[in-house]
Amino acid sequence: MADPAPSPAAVRAAVALQPLVDAARRIVFFGGAGVSTESGIPDFRGQDGLYRQTYRWPPEVILSRDFCSRHPEEFFRFHRARMVHLEARPNAAHRRLAQWEQAGKLTAVITQNIDGLHQAAGSQTVHELHGSVWRNHCRDCGRSHPLARVLATDGVPRCDCGQVIEPDVVLYQDPLDPAVWAAAAQALAAADLLIIGGTSLSVYPAANLIDYFPGDQLVVVNRDGAGAGLRRQPSLVITEPIAQTFAALDGPELDGPDLDDPPLDDPPLDDRLAIDQSCSRIGRDPG
Ligand SMILES: [Zn+2]
C-alpha cells in the first residue's frame, strides 16, 4: 500500500471536513510542501545534518538567481539531489483532488510545489506558482528540453547552442509568472470552498493570493496549524496528515500507486520525462 491507513484522528478530521466538501461546487485547493512530504519529498527548508555535511550554503542561497548564475555546478548538484524526486508518487491527497476535478467539484489546484505530482495524479488545471522541474529551457535561445536531458549530464546541462539549460522554477529573487498568478487569482475569486494544505503561507507573496477568495468556507489542513500568514479566521483547521485525512473522505476508492507495482494509469517514467518537450517556456520578465 502506498498510503498508510488513516489514523482515528484523521478519520475524525475527515468527518468534520466532509460536509463542507459535500456542499461545495467550486473547490480550489492551495497547497505547499506539506502536501508532498507524505509522498516522500522532504521540505528542503528543514535542513538536516546530512544537508550540512553536503552543502556549504543554505538552500535559500543556492536556490537564488544570483547563485544559479555564478555557481551553476553547485546549483545543479543541489537541484539533482534535492529538487528532483523521480521515485515520488502521488499520495491520497493528490488523487482525491484529481477525483474532485473529474467529478466537476474542484476548479483548480494552486501549488507552490515543483514536483508535478498533481498532474501525475490526473489533475488537469494546476497553477504552479513556482514552476516545475519537469520543464526546462535554454537560458539563451529559450528552447525547451526534457528533464532527462538535465539529468543525463553530471555538471551543468547545456543546450545545443552551448548555453545553460535551466529548470522552469521560480528561484529566490525571481518574480512569479504574472499569467500563473492571474489564473490562480481568478480561480480563487470564483471558489466557494478554499482548502489550504501543507503550507503555513510563510512564503511571500503567495499568502496575498488568499485575499482573492471571497467565500466563507476556508479550511486549513496543515501540521503546524493555520500559520501567521493567514489574515482571516478559517472555518476549520486540521492538523492531521493531509494524505491520511483525504484518504478517509468519501469518494471512489483511492487505488494507490505502489512503487513496486505501478498501475496502468500511472504514466511510465519515460513518458513523464518526455512531456516537457511540448511545454513552452515560462516568461520571466525582469521586475
Ligand atoms: Zn539554446
Residue 98 has pLDDT above 90, yes or no: yes
For residue 252, how far is its CA from the centre of ligand 1 (angstroms)? Answer: 45
Q: Tell me how far the alpha carbon of residue 230 lies from the centroid of ligand 1, in angstroms.
A: 41
| 130 annotated active-site | yes
Q: Give residue-wise pLDDT tens across range 130-187.
A: 999 999 999 999 999 999 999 998 899 999 999 999 999 999 889 999 999 999 999 9
Q: What is the pLDDT confidence band of residue 273, given thresholds at 50, 70 and 90?
A: low
Three-class SS state of 197: strand
Rounded to the nearest angstrom, the distance between the alpha carbon of 158 and the centre of ligand 1 is: 8
Catalytic residue among 118, 130, 137, 145: 130
pLDDT band at 116; cut points 50, 70, 90? very high
Residues 6+ apart with CB under 8 A from 264: none
Rounded Cα gap, residues 176 and 277, in angstroms: 22
Q: Which residues contact 103 (CB under 8 A, 6 or more apart)?
A: none
Across the range 67-83, mean pLDDT stands at 92
Q: What is the mean pLDDT of the chain?
A: 86
Confidence grade of residue 276 (pLDDT, cut at 50, 70, 90): very low
pLDDT-derived band at 227 (thresholds 50, 70, 90) equals confident
pTM, two decimals, is: 0.87
| Mean pLDDT across 179-203 | 95
Average pLDDT over residues 5-10: 93
Q: What is the pLDDT of residue 49?
A: 56
Q: How far is the CA of 83 from the centre of ligand 1 (A)?
A: 23
Q: What's the 62 CA to ligand 1 centre distance in angstroms?
A: 23
Residue 205 has what pLDDT? 80
Domains for the chain: give ranges and CATH numbers: 8-259+267-278 (3.40.50.1220)
Residues with CB under 5 A from ligand 1 (ion): 138, 140-141, 143, 159, 161, 163
CA atoms 38, 110, 180, 270: torsion sign: positive
175, three cell numbers: 518574480
Mean pLDDT in residue range 40-47: 74
